[in-house]
Amino acid sequence: MSSDKTNVNGLSSGEHQGQVATMYENWFLEYASYVILERAVPYLDDGLKPVQRRVLHSMWELEDGRYNKVANVIGHTMKYHPHGDVSIGDALVQLGQKNLLIDTQGNWGNVYTGDSAAASRYIEARLSKFAQDVVFNPKTSIWQSSYDGRNKEPVTLPVKFPLLLAQGVEGIAVGLACKILPHNFCELIEASIDAIRGKTVNLLPDFFTGGVADFSKYNDGLRGGRIRVRSVIEKVSRKLLAIREIPFGCTTSSLIDSILSANDKGKIKIKKVEDNTAAKVEILIHLHPDSSEDLDKTIEALYAFTDCEVSISPNSCVIVDGRPVFLSVNEILRLSALNTQELLRRELQIELSELEEDWHFSSLEKIFIEKRIYRDIEECTTWESVISTIHAGLKPYKKKFLREITDEDVVRLTEIKIKRISKFDAFKANEHIRGLEEKIAAVKQDLDNIKNYTVNYFKNLLKKYGKGRERRTQISEFEAIVASKVVISNARLYVNRAEGFVGHGLKKDEFISDCSDIDDVIAITADGKLVVMKIQDKGYVGKEILHVAVFRKDQDEQTVYNLVYQDGPRGAVMMKRFTVGGVTRDKPYDLTKGTTGSRILYLSVSSPDAGPTVIVKLKPKPKLRNLESVIHFGSQLIKGRGVQGNVVTKFPILRVAEATPEQEAQLRKKQPELFVPAGKEDKAQLKIEL
């Protein structure tokens, strides 16, 4: 008897687990595909997510020139969208707030303050003239059944405009995200014209909230790109700043919260903030009357510590042929322009077909009445004889037509009423046919010159709808603000050298300098260890602290450390001149060779162009005549932190002391070669015995 346990289906536990794993994998893939294709990512063809497409299709079905209650639009859309009224309402409000496809009436919220729209029963909407012109055409749409099979909906709408780039879109799917930023209406049309003409285009985003943006790292909207957007801050007076435009993705409420938070943390100093935003943004920042801070520095601090500057990372992803694809915005525009050209071609072909069909039947009708063929059927006794008699009467004129005369054409002729035959006007018939021929010739000419026709189409769009849609976001390049340079000094640095603690909470110990709570601190201890750490209330760096200071990497590149140390308890005395360079926080670095018992004998800080003069006194020893060695650090080469240094002496030393100004003056007279700047000689003298 088998020892394997079996379930109710007769499968062993291992087989059952394998079956469940396979089912889970398939279900998850189906779910992920559904979210990507049907909810989160827009389609390249029309630039819309499914819910947006269904909202617009429903509004087109309801369109009668008047406003519809949004609640009514939502209810109508539920015939096509299976995910409830909340998602439909949110999508509709977002479309309305972009002020492109939908004319709104009522309280639709405020994109500047973040206020939400009124309830759907109180607000109204209708399609804009622009949407009716460029978004819909049942004749060129491809249709599919709705989710319940009761209705037909378009697979994609035949949008003849780069709608995706104009509105922008953001969505999060399963393992995939999409973020395409909005671009300027007029620039998109001009770029579409260039794309049709085969020219290179270079699109940059434009935000309805305005602001100033640095697009130098935009990367065509692909992953890895990044843009920085800043508020427009105006200097109203010496103690008053006004924010007139805010970064994309922010609201006045979130921006003010970030300003108040930075003030509470001591990053900036302000008196109060007022929000006067209505139709336009206006945030007033009042500074303290006794503040000595420069306005420019305050503005830079606002950019550094608040949402007055934000970073946005685009991720241009669209659905192409049923698959998510990453395309640059310039490529999306090119494909959109070509899609518009193809849609216009199809519309012309449909129009040509309709005109030719109208010409065909009008010509048939004219011959049928003028040649009195209708009289030949008076004596026919069967339907078949009627059809054959009319065919026989039209046979001499068949060569005049663009296609064969079918039985359907003949049936239509028999449906002409006697009243119409009796009032037939040959002159009007000829005029109508002549007009059709002129239209057919014009359409054929447009088809033969489809590029020029498409360019003219875009130019007409720009002329008709471009007014008032000029660029709002200023294009600029600005350097990143170093926070440590603009933060106010909101803390004080103290040190307890003996116990090895550093921080801003040691108020009873030795004061070092003013600082801020975002600064780093550098400390060097007597055993030759260097550490850089984030300033804190009380941090341990090591006992016997010789040097402690605020560490700013950009400034410390010009700071030179002059060091004399003994390698182990009985080793040689070494000297080195170095800069700190890049370091990792809280990681101890050894400034000596690393020998146990090494000690720093002398340490000072100077600029690269100046260096102290140090006298090393040796312990008396038989046969040792010269008991002093002199080092002038200004004549030594500056190297990296990790260099071991050069030997000063191998004899035991008594002490190391910095030369007084008088001693240095005497040495300069007696031994000027000591003070030759580094690099002036092939080998600088490291040791001079007196």
What is the tens place of the pLDDT at every residue in 670-689?
877 777 776 544 434 444 33
- The answer to whether residues 263 and 114 belong to one domain is no
Considering the domain architecture, whether residues 173 and 45 belong to the same structural domain is answered as yes
Domain that holds residue 19: 1-33
Q: Which residues of 117-147 are buried (b: 16+ CB within 10 A; e: fewer)?
A: beebeebbbbbbebbeebbbbeebbeeeeee
Instruction: Tell me: do 96 and 173 sit in the same domain.
Output: yes
480, part of any domain: no
What percent of the chain has a predicted confidence (pLDDT) above 70?
90
The active-site residue, picked from 67, 80, 122, 602, is 122
Distances in Å between the alpha carbon of 158 and those of 78, 145, 300, 453?
Answer: 22, 17, 47, 17
Tens of pLDDT, residue by residue over 316-333, are 999 888 888 899 999 999
Asked if the structure places residue 336 within a domain, the reply is no
Q: What are phi and psi of 615, to 5 degrees?
A: -110, 125
188 and 43, same structural domain?
Answer: yes
Give me the number of domains the chain comprises. Answer: 5
The whole-number pLDDT of residue 687 equals: 42
Give the amino acid at 523: A
Does residue 170 have a pLDDT over 60?
yes
Q: Is 122 marked active-site?
A: yes
Residue 555 has pLDDT above 80, yes or no: no
Q: Model-level pTM?
A: 0.75
Same domain, 41 and 188: yes
User: How far is CA 678 from each of CA 638, 668, 673, 674, 683, rounded to the nearest angstrom?
Assistant: 9, 16, 11, 10, 9
505: pLDDT strictly greater than 90? no
Average pLDDT of span 464-475: 93
Residue 312 pLDDT exceeds 80: yes
* Neighbouring-strand partners of residue 43: 319
Do 520 and 536 have their domain in common? yes
Q: Say if 573 falls within a structural domain.
A: yes
Establish if 647 belongs to a structural domain: yes
pLDDT at 689: 37
> Is 601 in contact with 614 (CB distance < 8 Å)?
no
Same domain, 534 and 576: no
Mean pLDDT of the chain: 87
Are residues 235 and 111 part of one domain? no
Read off the pLDDT of each residue in 295-309 and give the average, rounded to a whole number: 88
**74 and 120 both lie in a single domain:** yes
Report d(CA 482, CA 671) in Å as an integer.
Answer: 45
Task: Name which residue leads in pLDDT, 70 or 369.
Answer: 70
> Which distant-in-sequence residues (6+ apart) come within 8 Å of 137 by Cβ?
158, 343, 347
The answer to whether residue 15 scores a pLDDT higher than 60 is: no
Task: Show the tokens assigned to 274.
Answer: 């007022």
Do 184 and 236 lie in one domain? The reply is: no
- Nearest one of 473, 478, 481, 507 to 492, comparing CA atoms: 507
Query: According to the model, what pLDDT value does residue 488 have?
Result: 65
End position of a domain, from candidates 278, 312, 346: 312
Q: What is the model's pLDDT at position 659?
A: 85
Interstrand relation of 589-590 and 573-578 (parallel, antiparallel or unpaired): unpaired
- pLDDT score of 516: 79
- Mean pLDDT throughout 401-427? 87
- Tell me whether strands 560-566 and 573-578 are parallel, antiparallel or unpaired: antiparallel
With 0-12 CB in 10 A as exposed, 13-18 as middle and 19+ as buried, what is 95?
Answer: buried
CA distances from 525 to 169, 308, 353, 521, 534 (A): 55, 41, 91, 13, 17
